[in-house]
Amino acid sequence: MIKFPFYTRRAALVLTSMVSILLLTCARTKVHHPMTESEILAFHQSILTIDTHVDTPLRLKYEGIDLSQRHDPHEYNSKLDFPRMDEGGLDAVFFAVWTPQGARTDSGHSAIKQKALDILDLVESTISKLPQSAEIVARSGDASRLQSMGKHAIYLGMENGYPLGTDIENVDLFYNRGIRYITLCHMTNNELCDSSNDTTEFGGLSPFGLDVVKRMNHLGMMIDISHTSEATVEQTVAASTAPVIASHSCSRAMCDNARNLSDSLLTLIATKGGVVQMCLLSDYITPDPPQDARDSARAALSKKWKNIDRQPVANREAYRLEWSELNRNFPRELPSVADAVDHIDHMVKIVGIDHVGIGTDFDGGAALSDCFDVSELPNITKELFNRGYSKTDIQKIWSGNLLRVFSQVEQLATSH
């Protein structure tokens, strides 16, 4: 951050010239604009805000959450509903249709494809019953249109390309069902590519994965490289004719986690015009402080459920329940909004203000000490103001950058 000392009127002309030169030579300069909390909240409520990754369909499926009612996040496994979206000034979200990795066989692919379709059916049924509050949308301009109507925009993304199997026609199928980005993989490899948390299998994209990238470009579907290996990111950016996104990723320089993006990958994504949406999952923001009892319990659980992503559905569900219970018994020390915004600061320093956004991962494990659910999202805006980000900067982070990429992806598709 560049800070200018207080100066008198006599020195104003000289220092104003110096400031002008600095503004022209620096990629970006923060200027502090003192605002009251009420002014910050009013500003936050006035701008268009988009969260590119929430796992709320999981809460619909497993807890039967009623999105029209306000839930206490400390009593329910729920970080999002429409009343809390109103409180937190969140206008639009991408509901992630997440599926766990399973058997890479014809039967496995068929079963998980149906599961993804069932989740889409559930989301569509849920939102159709709340027409005054929200609408499922598919175009980049829809979020602004619904904001003007006082309604929430629900976009659809697919987290894990596993339901595509090995059939390229499934890309079209899910596009026609409203999916507007696909996270190519999740925590393990699939038929598309290598994951950041698995061994090297393809050395990046598989031949089928490359076909998927090209098909997504053709249709106008955003390509999401969160969860993928470094080689997959590099090859995807090179192969794509459109900018790519990371729907929920942080900076590896700030927190050395395999899921986070190195400075070189951040630069690569930005050079192609893409955007990285900063995630609020604790383990991606700060290293997990050691807790002997919890760490022993985790080790025992991992040993009991070895290679859980490749086990039957019933085993994965049992593991999920045991993992949730373990985390309730041994809660992690949560990082703060300030810790999260440190990632934004770093990414802006590396790639500039035009390539950073927010994808919280709420309902998928994300939580901060002072931003525990969507109702507290204004605390991020407050922190950004306190660090000297301008209103224009903050609007870009909350929606402008993502919508630019989304629109470009649409435009490039129509030019084919």
Question: Which pLDDT tens digit goes with each residue over 34-60?
Answer: 789 999 999 999 999 999 999 999 999
**AA identity, residue 239:** A
| pLDDT of res. 237 | 98
Round the average pLDDT of the chain to a whole number and report it.
90
Distance CA 27, CA 113 (A): 45
What are the b/e assignments for 10-29, b being 16+ CB within 10 Å? eeeeeeeeeeeeeeeeeeee
Q: Does residue 15 carry a pLDDT above 80?
A: no
State mean pLDDT over 74-83: 95
Give the confidence band of 2 by pLDDT, cuts at 50, 70, 90.
Answer: very low
Match 């909390």 to its residue by tokens.
37
Domain 36-289+337-414, CATH among 3.20.20.140, 1.10.10.10, 3.40.50.720, 2.40.30.10: 3.20.20.140
- pLDDT band (50, 70, 90) for residue 324: confident
pLDDT, one tens digit per residue, over 106-150 is: 999 999 999 999 999 999 999 999 999 999 999 999 999 999 999
pLDDT at 416: 55
User: What pLDDT, on the 0 to 100 scale, is given for residue 415?
Assistant: 65
Question: H helices then E strands: how many in the chain?
Answer: 17, 9
Tens-place pLDDT, residues 165-184:
999 999 999 999 999 999 99
Residue 106 CA to residue 164 CA, distance in Å, equals 11
Query: What is the band of 315 on the pLDDT scale with cuts at 50, 70, 90?
Result: confident
**Angle, in degrees to the nearest 10, between helices 207-219 and 169-176:** 40
Query: What type of residue is 113?
Result: K
**By three-state DSSP, how is residue 211 classified?**
helix
* pLDDT tens readout for residues 340-360: 999 999 999 999 999 999 999
Residue 153 in contact with residue 135, Cβ under 8 Å? yes
> 243-294: per-residue pLDDT in tens?
999 999 999 999 999 999 999 999 999 999 999 999 999 999 999 877 788 7
Cα 155 to Cα 138: distance, rounded to the nearest angstrom: 6
Which CB contacts under 8 angstroms, 24+ apart, belong to 380-386?
380/337, 380/340, 380/341, 381/40, 381/43, 381/44, 382/37, 382/40, 382/337, 383/337, 383/338, 383/341, 384/341, 384/344, 385/33, 385/35, 385/40
Locate the domains of the chain by residue range.
Answer: 36-289+337-414, 291-331
47: exposed, middle or buried (Cβ count in 10 Å: 0-12, 13-18, 19+)? middle
216: pLDDT strictly greater than 70: yes
Q: What is the pTM of this model?
A: 0.88
Task: Tell me the C-alpha distance between 111 and 333, whole Å.
Answer: 38
pLDDT of residue 320: 75
Q: What is the pLDDT of residue 20?
A: 36
Task: Reduce the DSSP state of residue 377 to 3 states and report it.
Answer: coil
Angle of helix 207-219 relative to helix 401-414, nearest 10 degrees, comes to: 90
What is the percent of the chain where pLDDT is above 90? 79
Mean pLDDT of 189-199: 97
